[in-house]
Amino acid sequence: MAASYELKASARDRVGKGAARALRREGLLPAVIYGDKKPALPITIPVKETTLTLHKGGFTAQIGMIDVDGEKHQVIAKDYQLHPVRDDVLHVDFLRVAKGATLTVEIPVHFLNEEDCPGLKKGGVLNIVRHTVEMTVPADSIPEALELDLANAEPGDSLHISAVALPEGCLPTITDRDFTIATIAAPAGMKEEEDDAASEEEAAAEEEPASE
């Protein structure tokens, strides 16, 4: 199971807001590693490297390695706190990842062949209902993204999870329905033409004489 990033860390014995502020002045962040039926391990990690890793994207959907004073821990970031104004990282929670584990993560959706999509060529608009899908996945093969092909999508089409080729061993956490990922909204002119045609059909039906 290859790690996508590695952070150097040190164990910490001080907790609380005062200790956290002192750490941040030193360019460090408070964090914790928990799970796998082992005691929680409070640590400090570098602000700069952690922020760069987070901003690369996929932080909570990638396996990482935390080197705590020479002992390496395989983890996935489960949560992080940001400053409400400055968006600085304030704290990170890491979950230990055991070999053969299954994880629940948010996987981004990538849309293929937008330039060839007939629905978009006709003036339709791609409305994305879900930018990510919560999936249960093997820890050693977390997909980078789900791919939804738009090559045959027409105006008015709804594109569901069933249209996505799911990677082996990966399942959406929603199992009771074929939920929508995106729709191709028909252009206004097409909608008006359809409405007019429907109105004409209704009027014609009303004018037909009743059969004797």
As a whole number, mean pLDDT of residues 168-189 equals: 92
pLDDT of residue 134: 95
Antiparallel, parallel or unpaired: β 102-112 and 146-149: parallel
Q: Does residue 207 carry a pLDDT above 70?
A: no
pLDDT of residue 118: 95
pLDDT of residue 73: 94
DSSP conformation class of 141? G
Q: Does residue 104 carry a pLDDT above 80?
A: yes
pLDDT of residue 212: 45
Q: CA–CA distance from 110 to each of 38, 47, 70, 98 (Å)?
A: 36, 30, 38, 29
Give 82's Cβ-side CA count (13 Å radius): 8
Domains and CATH numbers, the chain: 5-99 (2.40.240.10), 103-206 (2.170.120.20)
pLDDT of residue 188: 76
Residue 23 three-state SS: helix
Average model confidence (pLDDT) across the chain: 87
**Contact predicate 31/45, CB 8 Å:** yes
Contacts with 185 (C-beta within 8 Å, 6 or more apart), sequence order: 124, 125, 126, 127, 155, 156
Q: Does residue 64 carry a pLDDT above 80?
A: yes
Q: Does residue 23 carry a pLDDT above 90?
A: no
- pTM for the model stands at 0.73
